[in-house]
Structure 1
Amino acid sequence: MKVAVVTGASSGIGQSAAVRIAGRGIGVILTYDRNRQGALDTVAAIEKAGGTAVALHLELGDSDGFADFRDAVAAALHDTWGRDTFDHLVNNAGFAHSSLVEDTAEEDFDRLMRVLLKGPYFLTQRLLPLMAEGGAVVNVSSNSATASAPEPGYSAYAAMKGGLNVLTRYMAKEFSPRGIRVNAISPGATRTRLSDDAFTRFPEVIPELAARAAFGRVGEPDDIGAMIATLVGDESRWVTAQNIEVSGGYGL
């Protein structure tokens, strides 16, 4: 059985991606930070559908813990699937923070950098020796980093996601001798718990965002999770170094 590691799968896009990937007959190691119950709910949903999943704690902003996490992944692979390697990595975990350039605190900038750029960089580095040849990496970026969707207040967040887009291309180049494909996806406005569950706290912003999408609605986590599952699937075997916007035609 193939196995995927999906970070930040206790809710939202990561949870959908984990369930969708498991639905393809792939075992899932999913991670959580503060929302342990959400991670257990994801495991339960996968197991209810006949799949296999393990939840592990990971603090993506603390790279000092990555060696221990790698060891935990290796143990889960051995104990649950009888394997020494896994096949796919989905770098999804993250958070959003909004402030204008003139108001952005250096500590907020640094935290965004640690979680959104440094985290995926060094987590992938740590896990790469455990990855089997012919697998896939999917980096979850954002359409805020594209030229078509700049929104005041997201300069630092978008800058990190832009860096992740560049990193995706370099990973694709460097990992290609091992047959490992690397792609990014860039969701548009999606109904998740990002930004401290902003859509629930500020429902008045939803109609305006929906009006900017060609399909007249905001995205749902499963809209994005389905694309992630497709990118790790065999039907995407000839796709690498791409950044695919999944936004329902935002800004058209």
Structure 2
Amino acid sequence: MPTADTQAKPARIALITGGSRGIGRNTALHLAQRGVDSIFTYNSRQADAEQVVAAVRETGSKAIALQLDTGDTRAFDAFAKQVRHALADWGAERFDYLVNNAGTSHHAPFDQTTEEELDSLYNVHFKGVFFLTQKLLPLLNDGGRIVNISSGLTRMTFPGSSPYASMKGAVEVLTRYLAKELGPRRIAVNTVAPGAVATDFSGGMVRDNPELNKLVSDATALGRVGLPDDIGSMISSLLSEDNRWVNGQRIEVSGGAMV
């Protein structure tokens, strides 16, 4: 008969927005390999989300996919209730890690970006991150962790990326403030800023455009574009106890792009 000291600890639980593909999917899979269960969101691609759930379950961990448009703050109350129910089904009241990953791409010169486009970027990349995190704070364990996904474009400048990069810059500032304000709850908050990654983001242009792929590779110290596995593994490591003293930081994961 195991004693209280030898009984297995309950599995950690992560909540990942935009977990049905790309970096979010890879993060869920790497966390699953570390024994972390996942609640993740998808916007419209339910079939992709179901494939991620199945892949996570193959590792022995659990996952559930919930539909959410992270740019629609009106949906956040109902979403929080869904999260509570999902946690209850797993015998938990709170989760441990929040990864604000969901995003949309945008490529247009500054002088051609419309107010509607800027509002859309703001709703998903800043307002959504701000208020979804706020809404979920009561469900996040003390001593938990938050990772906000930014972009290498807040350091590097490429014409046509100013609206997108500006929103990511706002998230980086928010990260530092959250690290300070959530410190009394021992919640660490960091930013992960990927470089160019070969996913279907932005229509798969880094993955599928040989000229762009070469351009990025030539400008990167390690000589290639990033892969989802480069980012997901780093995020899962950052959330582990190995990195418990990292807080309020912007960590670029770009292979040394434009250094």
Compute the TM-score of the two structures, normalised by the length of structure 2: 0.94
Identify unmatched segments of 5+ residues in structure 1: none
**2:162 maps to which of 151, 155, 161:** 155
**2:56 counterpart SS class:** helix
Equivalent residue number for residue 215 of structure 1 = 222
Determine if the alignment matches structure 1 residue 44 to structure 2 residue 54: yes
- Displacement of 1:206 in angstroms is 0.6
Distance 2:57 2:188 in 1: 28
Equivalent residue number for residue 17 of structure 1 = 27
- Displacement of 1:239 in angstroms is 0.6
Determine if the alignment matches structure 1 residue 29 to structure 2 residue 36: no
Equivalent residue number for residue 250 of structure 1 = 257
- Displacement of 1:69 in angstroms is 0.5
Distance 2:139 2:207 in 1: 39
Distance 2:40 2:187 in 1: 20
Q: What do the CA deviations read for 1:196-230 (whole angstroms, capped 9, x no partner)? A: 22235533211111111001100000100011101
**1:167 maps to which of 171, 174, 177:** 174
Distance 2:170 2:18 in 1: 19
Equivalent residue number for residue 79 of structure 2 = 69
Count of aligned pairs: 249
Q: What do the CA deviations read for 1:57-93 (whole angstroms, capped 9, x no partner)? A: 11011000001000000000001x2011111000000
Note the 1:99-178 alignment, pairs <5 A. 99-146=108-155, 149-178=156-185
Equivalent residue number for residue 180 of structure 1 = 187
**2:17 maps to which of 2, 7, 29:** 7
Distance 1:62 1:98 in 2: 22
Q: Contact 2:197–2:207 at 8 Å: present in 1 too?
A: no
**1:15 counterpart SS class:** helix
Distance 1:131 1:37 in 2: 28
Compute the TM-score of the two structures, normalised by the length of structure 1: 0.97
Distance 1:201 1:35 in 2: 21
- Displacement of 1:119 in angstroms is 0.7
Distance 1:95 1:55 in 2: 19
Q: Contact 2:17–2:101 at 8 Å: present in 1 too?
A: yes
Distance 2:206 2:258 in 1: 19
Distance 2:244 2:207 in 1: 38
2:18 alignment partner AA: G
Q: What do the CA deviations read for 1:221-244 (whole angstroms, capped 9, x no partner)? A: 010001110111111110100000
- Displacement of 1:178 in angstroms is 0.4
Distance 1:246 1:219 in 2: 8
Distance 1:231 1:200 in 2: 25
Distance 1:155 1:181 in 2: 28
Distance 1:34 1:210 in 2: 32
Distance 1:228 1:15 in 2: 12
**1:89 maps to which of 98, 111, 125:** 98
Equivalent residue number for residue 224 of structure 1 = 231
Q: Considering only aligned residues, what root-mean-square deviation do their CA atoms show, in Å? A: 0.9
Mean Cα deviation higher: 186-195 or 162-171: 186-195
**1:198 counterpart SS class:** helix
Q: Contact 2:205–2:212 at 8 Å: present in 1 too?
A: no
